[in-house]
Structure 1
Amino acid sequence: MPNISVAEIRPGSKVSKDVITPLGGILFAKGKILLPRDMEILEAFLIQQVDIEGSEEDAQAMEPSKTPSKGAVKAGSVITASALAKSGSRLHEEYDHMLVLIKKCYSSADAAVLPIYELRSGLEAMIAHIKDYHVLDFSPRTLNEQDYIYHNAVLSALTSYKIAQWCGYPQKEWLQVAFAGLLHDIGNAKVDSSIMQKPEPLTLTERNEVRKHTTYGYQILRKVTAINEGVRLAALQHHEKIDGSGYPLRLRGSQIHLYAKTVAVADIFHAMTLERIYKKAQSPYLVLEEIQKEGFGQLEPSIVQTFIHKTTELHNGTKIRLNDGRPGEIIFSDRSNPTRPLVSVEGKIINLAHSRHLYIQEILT
């Protein structure tokens, strides 16, 4: 069948040529069997014509007849916290254990040697369940804004480990990158706690004191064994920027260690999506957009691109809530606009790339 108008296409038709979005992304790949909802997606992307082959009957005959078994996980679905609990995953238990350990480290970092082998054991136990960790929708079972810095440490460890995997770092370095995420802010243990817990904006003097946490962190880690120099440099350099505008040394580009560049992305994401004493948690999708902006000049572009691509893939079917309060479901993620997918809300399909006043406020679990 030749190239035909979308209005004439019937569900069950087979796409004979990749359907491309106006921005150049692949909407539907060649061979895709079009379902009723796909008609709405084509209209939402303002696609006028599509190359179709075969008849409706032929196309329907090619659809898999096997139905998924009861309880099977749908392809592209996201494992939520409630699903994890039912599946018997120990991720949350190991996370809570790691949280207790890192609290102890902060309370004694200025006076005692870090229990690095205990930390390593806890980190390995938690990472054993890394397959159950999904950056955008993982939520600790208990969140206290007073404990922000500890949650940021544990989450940054998990996310940094994921980034190391996604970016193809040597496998022997993955645990060290996780250590870098876990200990990147350890220098805050030497910053006055009244400053760290202050609900009002900091004075210039207080901001300068907080900035010292990077050098404090390097000093604490300098003589710690079982971690490599990259972990120490991540503590020192995770606030450096590619364009030289960061601190404490105003380093540029290749002067910044890879671990620090990795941790910087994880740290920014969790710093913005966690509830803090002086700042409300932000939408993870808006945070991804902010990170994408910083990828031009401040963060390592390749890490940013991989992070956004990987965190937003396979989210079709995810239950979400928009910023206007309406619940919905992600039905298609366009690689050209990974943070602004098509969502189904109240029986209508909304393309968030076109409706810029709307965005995903939260993922529902």
Structure 2
Amino acid sequence: MLIVAAQTVLTDEHLDLIRNHRIDITTVAIMTDSEEEGIACKQEVQKAVRASKEMFDSIRHTRKIPVMQMRNEILPLVREVTEHTNVFQLLEAVKATDEYTYQHNIGVGILSTMIGKWLNLGETELAVLSLAATLHDVGKMQVPLDILNKPDKLTQEEFAVIKQHTVFGYNLLKDTPGLNHRTALVALQHHERLDGKGYPFGITDNKIDLFSRIVAVADIFHAMSSKRPYHNALPFHAVISQMRKGIFGALDSSITSLFLDNIVKKMVGEQVVLTDGTMGEVVMLNPFDIEKPLIKANEGFIDLSKESDLRIQSICM
């Protein structure tokens, strides 16, 4: 028998109903404000993903960008999610678990907008960045679905087709009325790298637009943090470490550091799971290595800077 539905805000009447059914109130799981905010954040992201899926499926068939739908339906949701105060709940909410392509578009849009805010971009620039980031992979709508959704590693020939999505996206966006030219540049350049080893043209340094460099950081972080058709999400410590080391190519170091430092510095007070399964709370950051903080666990403390085999596997949400 359903007495009170999950996620109900409890009133005196609900409590009376629970007692009248002789249910011990201490056995009822009460959601904290933080947990409620986390659920709300995830619901907002899922709403944006559903709208994104509908829009991108339309683009696949019509080859036209519904600019007004983007601005009126999807971008307000993207901007609303970035107002969420708990960055780890936000990062958890944007992780892709299925239908990667659609979740990735929204995830990168949200993360790029967050970076833009941390860079103190003006409102006009931020609006252009949000739109460009959400449309960065629109060229994939011209890639055959059997390649796009392939569960195994791509062959060299298939990867060559995938790489063309940057040019497909640019050509689609540059001819769309009402879009800033930087939107098309982001689609073209988000896989370029500062050392010239990116694609499609291997350009370097300041030839890559600032927005493209922002989206490149958000793109890699979201891809590595998410479950994809051919690999599972990487542990938190691995994503942070590999991005700092430039494993995925030469990113803009100032943008990468700003993004990662803003995330890591917010770990204090968060519950984490270590690579050996230990759960604990981050109580203090190490100023010389902020990725290896002091953890309170099992009535003691673990200093990760002195534990070569221990890292943070995940943040508890």
Note if 1:119 corresponds to 2:70.
yes
Q: 1:358 aligns with which of 275, 285, 310?
A: 310
- Report the aligned-residue RMSD: 2.4
Partner of 1:98: 48
Q: 2:163 aligns with which of 193, 200, 211?
A: 211
Note if 1:263 corresponds to 2:215.
yes
The structural deviation recorded for 1:353 is 2.3
- The runs of 5 or more residues in structure 1 that have no matched partner are 1-80
Note if 1:154 corresponds to 2:103.
no
Q: How far apart in 2 are the matches of 1:206 and 1:296?
A: 20
Partner of 2:285: 333
Note if 1:163 corresponds to 2:106.
no
Deviations 1:335-357 (A, max 9, x none): 43222211122222222222132
- The runs of 5 or more residues in structure 2 that have no matched partner are 1-30
User: In structure 2, do the counterparts of structure 1 residues 198 and 90 end up closer, same or farther at CA, with 3 Å as the change threshold?
Assistant: same
The structural deviation recorded for 1:313 is 1.7
Partner of 1:5: none
Deviations 1:274-320 (A, max 9, x none): 01121010122321111111199711111011111111123211001
Q: How far apart in 1 are the matches of 2:32 and 2:137?
A: 30
Q: 1:283 aligns with which of 231, 235, 244?
A: 235
User: In structure 2, do the counterparts of structure 1 residues 104 and 241 end up closer, same or farther at CA, with 3 Å as the change threshold?
Assistant: same
The structural deviation recorded for 1:143 is 5.4
Kept in 2: contact 1:283–1:361 (CA 8 A): yes
Partner of 1:78: none
Counterparts in 2 of 1:193-232, with a 5 A limit?
193-232=145-184
Counterparts in 2 of 1:69-80, with a 5 A limit?
none
The structural deviation recorded for 1:228 is 1.3
Q: How far apart in 1 are the matches of 2:242 and 2:97?
A: 25
Deviations 1:25-44 (A, max 9, x none): xxxxxxxxxxxxxxxxxxxx
The structural deviation recorded for 1:152 is 1.3
Q: How far apart in 2 are the matches of 1:116 and 1:355?
A: 51
Kept in 1: contact 2:143–2:161 (CA 8 A): yes
| TM-score, L = length of structure 2 | 0.82
Q: In the alignment, residue 235 of structure 1 is paired with which amino acid?
A: A
User: In structure 2, do the counterparts of structure 1 residues 181 and 354 end up closer, same or farther at CA, with 3 Å as the change threshold?
Assistant: farther
Q: 2:197 aligns with which of 242, 245, 251?
A: 245
Kept in 2: contact 1:84–1:132 (CA 8 A): no
Q: How far apart in 2 are the matches of 1:159 and 1:88?
A: 16
